[in-house]
């Protein structure tokens, strides 16, 4: 037996070597129990002492007389007391805020100031917003029409205190945390905001709105509040108040509105600028009809109409508004100019459609009154000369869109949006998308090739390309990819992709310069494939186009299936004109409200989109289009011009985009029935069997540019840079020793040398010329079949565009044929 086991269990004395009291574990347990007892007795003694002396802690925490976890759990008295203290503080704070809140005088803005729009020279262009408002008593609004608004906006209006608690907390939280600004959610709050407060959106303004809404509920009747709300809302079409809305939408007094009509008018409060066009715009009508059905459904759910009545209203159909008859100030092109400026203001500030609708803003635009009038007059002159819808059915529904931009700044100086709001044409053709741009896209292909080269040998780096590089221009060639493989096409009987030109001319291998001048498709489709979709797309984006307007990756992409607006296409050519510097197009230079200039409307700074050598080379090639290609009709301007024509398949659109050193203008022409979307063929329009961009669009361009540049000095484009030797497509014939390939641009298309008198300004991009360029002896066509007339090939801010096939009259029209012959399943590289 070990020594440890022989140790007596009852031995006492000093602690052993194991740290335990002598006597063993039993003795240790007895000692610990005794200590705990002494602790409890001490606590009980302290508690008894406190009870005896009457002294208590203000907050009994940690809890006296409790042990373990219970000592740290707060008592119900502590919890309830803390809650009552916190709640009482909130009530006190709320009571103080309520007591100190006073209802201010009605804001003068409820009298609805007008917005004033100014031309670029500072003169008044238009006023909008202050006259179309007539207040009415609530009794003049049918009861069920009142409930249309309540059902749509605030069904608990007659029972709530004027605020929606949940909506209030949600709005304050969102604004305090930097989230989306929330508007007043009740009729009372919206009335208070419209009548007593500014339209600024902040936490303090929101809290003040809530307190005033609660006080208003105590001092005004619900009928007075609802009346004020109906008279203070903006409904679109310059209508302020329900009486003006009833007149502008249905030519009725408010007292004559039906439940169905009231449901639509109630719907306009949320999106007045869109729904105001519900009579002509299919998108606006679809949205308006959906909201109208929602209001009727809500009316049935809150038992203001029966289910049977709801079905009757639905069966009767959507109450389409009457045609809009705007004030005289919005007639002609003014409506489009104001609309464009409004869109720009909203996109570059925190101002909303509702805020602009309440007026009080001075908006200074970039629009030049003389140029706008000149553009409108040029369109009218072309239409008078060529279009006769009364005697020629082909001339019906023909439309024109145009935009003119200062290339040095990006300022939009003139627009042509259509016949005018007063003529029932609401869509701004200058800023609309949906019409492909055709061969006017080819300069972007060329710019991309100059910047990135082209993979002409599979597996090898990209080779340099110049305008004098040769590509196969024959009709029906098989397109290859960068791997040298023939590309498939399920629509072709051979299973391979054969690109078509507009005519089967045997061009053979021609330079990219020649293909641009005559708008031959096959070289540019093959060039685009060798350069690569991503490179061409990137070039287009940097030059000024918007990604949403670009066609998906198909061969047709390289010859213009994308649909930018006339504004955006003018901006791209302005990038070429300004030596590769891209300026975002802008239409507003200054906005003033309450005597203060709002931030965000400085002229956009230019960014380098491409080297100046690239831009100047493209400009040189486009001068050749006007001198000896499809754009010769533009020579009538009598100045140096660079430009490109465009005409789409089946002549559904025609373009001309051209520029001088001072000004860029794009003109599109197309045909579309306002009641049925989709472009129609323009064959026969104006008596032309085929409508090209070189015809009527160029005529509009030339007439406008002649007037717009009158009195301005003639300027020359900078000379084209000297480029190195470009690489030809594989298969192109080698140059003979007697005719070595030139590394400089061909002489017929190079810019004229500046005169000695202009030598002093050689450092400037554009120099004045002492005399206009003589074009009287220049060939007026790109072919030799008799006398040609230079038939065109193909043809946002802010928006979209048109484009297509084209060519010279009597010969090749070199247009795009994107649908069965030049398309393939999309692939986005």
Which residues, in sequence order, are CB contacts of 601 under 8 Å at separation 6+?
345, 348, 349, 588, 589, 590, 591
Largest CA distance in the chain: 137
Whether residues 521 and 633 fall in one domain:
yes
Whether residues 736 and 637 fall in one domain:
yes
Whether residues 319 and 368 fall in one domain:
no
Whether residues 302 and 391 fall in one domain:
no
Distance CA 192, CA 186 (A): 10
The predicted pLDDT at position 545 comes to 97
Percent of the chain whose pLDDT exceeds 90: 52
Please report whether residue 466 resides in a domain. yes
The predicted pLDDT at position 356 comes to 86
Whether residues 147 and 236 fall in one domain:
yes
* Ramachandran quadrant class, 343 (left: phi over 0; alpha: psi -120 to 50; beta: rest): alpha
Please report whether residue 777 resides in a domain. yes
The pLDDT of 125-152, averaged and rounded, is 87
| CATH number where 667 lies | 3.40.710.10
Highest mean pLDDT among 110-119, 372-381, 419-428, 666-675: 372-381
Whether residues 319 and 388 fall in one domain:
no
CA-closest candidate to residue 50, choices 63, 39, 38, 37:
63
Please report whether residue 122 resides in a domain. no
Q: Cβ distance 596 to 590 under 8 Å?
A: no
B/e letters for 163-179, b = 16+ CB within 10 Å, e = fewer, are bbeebbeebeeebeeee
Distance CA 360, CA 596 (A): 11
Whether residues 297 and 379 fall in one domain:
no
Q: Mind listing the pLDDT tens digit for each residue in 462-510?
A: 999 999 999 999 999 999 999 999 999 988 899 999 999 988 889 999 9
Q: For the chain, give the mean pLDDT.
A: 80
Q: Cβ distance 421 to 335 under 8 Å?
A: yes
The predicted pLDDT at position 446 comes to 98
The predicted pLDDT at position 372 comes to 98
> Residue 525 class from Cβ within 10 Å (0-12 exposed, 13-18 middle, 19+ buried)?
buried
Distance CA 111, CA 743 (A): 70
Please report whether residue 725 resides in a domain. yes
Q: Mind listing the pLDDT tens digit for each residue in 596-615?
A: 899 999 999 999 999 999 99
Whether residues 283 and 377 fall in one domain:
no
What is the pLDDT confidence band of residue 653, given thresholds at 50, 70 and 90? Answer: very high
Whether residues 312 and 368 fall in one domain:
no
HEC sequence for 687-740: HCCCCCCCCHHHHHHHHHHHHHCCCCCCEECCCCCCCCCCCCCCCCCCCCCCCC
At residue 328, does pLDDT exceed 80? no
Whether residues 636 and 565 fall in one domain:
yes
Please report whether residue 453 resides in a domain. yes
Please report whether residue 700 resides in a domain. yes
Q: Mind listing the pLDDT tens digit for each residue in 724-773?
A: 888 999 888 876 544 443 333 333 333 333 333 333 343 345 554 443 33
Residue 269 structural domain: 132-326
Distance CA 555, CA 497 (A): 9
**Does the CA dihedral 285-291-297-302 come out positive or negative?**
negative
Round the CA-based radius of gyration of the chain to a whole number and report it.
39
Please report whether residue 594 resides in a domain. no
Whether residues 368 and 315 fall in one domain:
no
At residue 325, does pLDDT exceed 70? yes
Lowest mean pLDDT among 234-238, 245-249, 405-409, 757-761: 757-761
Please report whether residue 704 resides in a domain. yes
The predicted pLDDT at position 759 comes to 33
The predicted pLDDT at position 409 comes to 98
| Count of domains observed in the chain | 2
Q: Mind listing the pLDDT tens digit for each residue in 153-206?
A: 899 999 888 777 666 566 556 556 655 444 447 888 888 877 776 656 566 666
At residue 257, does pLDDT exceed 60? yes
Q: Which two tokens stand for residue 27?
A: 């003795």
**pTM more than 0.75:** no
At residue 791, does pLDDT exceed 80? no
Q: Mind listing the pLDDT tens digit for each residue in 332-346?
A: 999 999 999 999 999
Whether residues 280 and 388 fall in one domain:
no
What is the pLDDT confidence band of residue 326, given thresholds at 50, 70 and 90? Answer: confident
The predicted pLDDT at position 102 comes to 64
| CATH number where 217 lies | 1.10.3810.10
């Amino acid at each position: 037996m070990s020594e440890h086991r022989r140790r007596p269990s009852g031995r006492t004395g000093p602690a052993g070597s194991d740290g335990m009291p002598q006597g063993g574990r039993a003795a240790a347990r007895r000692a610990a129990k005794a200590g705990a007892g002494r602790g409890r007795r001490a606590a009980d003694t302290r508690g008894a002492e406190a009870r005896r002396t009457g002294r208590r802690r203000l907050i009994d925490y940690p809890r006296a007389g409790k042990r373990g976890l219970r000592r740290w759990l707060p008592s119900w008295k502590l919890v309830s007391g803390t809650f009552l203290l916190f709640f009482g503080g909130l009530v006190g704070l709320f009571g103080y805020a309520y007591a100190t809140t006073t209802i201010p005088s009605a804001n003068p803005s409820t009298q609805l100031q007008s917005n004033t729009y100014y031309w670029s020279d500072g003169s008044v262009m238009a006023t909008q917003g202050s006259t179309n408002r007539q207040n009415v008593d609530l009794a003049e609004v049918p009861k069920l029409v009142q409930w249309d608004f309540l059902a749509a906006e605030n069904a608990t209006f007659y029972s709530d205190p004027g605020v929606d608690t949940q909506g209030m907390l949600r709005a304050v939280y969102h604004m305090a945390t930097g989230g989306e600004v929330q508007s007043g959610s009740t009729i009372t709050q919206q009335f208070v905001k419209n009548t007593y407060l500014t339209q600024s959106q902040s936490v303090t303004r929101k809290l003040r709105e809530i307190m005033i809404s609660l006080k208003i509920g105590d001092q005004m009747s619900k009928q007075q509040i609802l009346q004020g709300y109906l008279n203070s809302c903006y409904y679109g079409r310059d209508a302020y108040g329900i009486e003006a809305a009833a007149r502008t939408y249905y030519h009725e007094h408010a007292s004559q509105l039906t439940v169905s009509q009231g449901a639509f008018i109630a719907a306009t409060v949320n999106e007045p600028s869109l729904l105001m066009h519900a009579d002509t715009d299919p998108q606006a009508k679809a949205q308006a009809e959906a909201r109208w059905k929602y209001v009727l459904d809500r009316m049935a759910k809150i038992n203001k109409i029966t289910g049977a009545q709801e079905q009757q209203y639905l069966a009767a159909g959507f109450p389409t508004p009457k045609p809009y008859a705007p004030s005289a100030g919005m007639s002609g092109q003014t409506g489009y100019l104001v609309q464009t400026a409004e869109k720009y203001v909203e996109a570059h500030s925190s101002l909303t459609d509702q805020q602009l609708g309440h007026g009080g803003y001075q908006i200074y635009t970039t629009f030049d009154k003389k140029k706008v009038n000149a553009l409108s007059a040029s369109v009218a002159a072309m239409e008078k000369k060529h279009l006769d819808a009364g005697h020629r059915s082909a001339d019906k529904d023909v439309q024109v869109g145009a935009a003119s931009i200062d290339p040095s700044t990006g300022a939009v100086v003139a627009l042509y949006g259509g016949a005018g709001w007063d003529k029932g044409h609401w869509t701004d053709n200058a800023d609309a998308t949906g019409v492909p741009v055709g061969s006017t896209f080819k300069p972007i292909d060329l710019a991309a090739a100059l910047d990135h080269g082209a993979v002409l040998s599979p597996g090898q780096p990209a080779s340099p390309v110049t305008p004098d590089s040769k590509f196969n221009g024959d009709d029906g060639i098989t397109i290859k990819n960068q791997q040298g493989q023939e590309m498939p096409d399920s629509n072709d009987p051979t299973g391979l992709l054969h690109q078509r030109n507009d005519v089967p001319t045997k061009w053979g291998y021609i330079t990219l310069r020649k293909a641009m001048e005559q708008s031959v498709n096959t070289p540019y489709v093959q060039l685009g494939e060798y350069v690569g979709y991503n490179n061409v797309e990137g070039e287009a984006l940097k030059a000024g186009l918007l990604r949403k307007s670009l066609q998906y990756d198909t061969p047709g992409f390289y010859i213009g299936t994308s649909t930018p607006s006339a504004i955006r296409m003018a901006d791209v050519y302005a990038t070429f004109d300004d030596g590769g510097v891209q300026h975002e197009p802008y239409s507003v230079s200054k906005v003033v409200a309450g005597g203060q200039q709002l931030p965000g409307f400085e002229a956009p700074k230019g960014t380098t989109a491409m080297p100046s050598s690239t831009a100047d080379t493209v400009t040189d090639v486009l001068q050749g289009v006007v001198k000896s290609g499809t754009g010769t009709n533009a020579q009538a301007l009598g100045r140096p011009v660079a430009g490109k024509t465009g005409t789409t398949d089946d002549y559904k659109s025609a373009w001309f985009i051209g520029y001088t050193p001072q000004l860029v203008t794009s003109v599109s022409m197309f045909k579309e029935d306002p009641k049925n979307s989709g472009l129609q063929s323009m064959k026969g329009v104006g008596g032309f069997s085929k409508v090209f961009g070189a015809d009527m669009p160029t005529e509009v361009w030339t007439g406008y540019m002649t007037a717009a540049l009158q009195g301005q000095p003639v300027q020359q484009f900078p000379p084209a840079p000297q480029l190195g030797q470009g690489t030809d497509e594989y298969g192109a014939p080698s140059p003979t020793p007697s005719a070595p390939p030139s590394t400089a641009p061909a002489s017929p298309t190079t810019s004229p040398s500046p005169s000695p008198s202009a030598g002093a300004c050689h450092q400037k991009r554009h120099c004045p010329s002492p005399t206009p360029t003589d074009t009287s002896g220049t060939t007026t066509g790109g072919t030799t079949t008799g006398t040609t007339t230079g038939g065109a090939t193909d043809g946002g801010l802010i928006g979209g565009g048109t484009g297509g096939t084209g060519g010279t009259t009597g010969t090749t029209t070199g247009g795009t044929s994107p649908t069965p012959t030049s398309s393939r399943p999309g692939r986005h590289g």
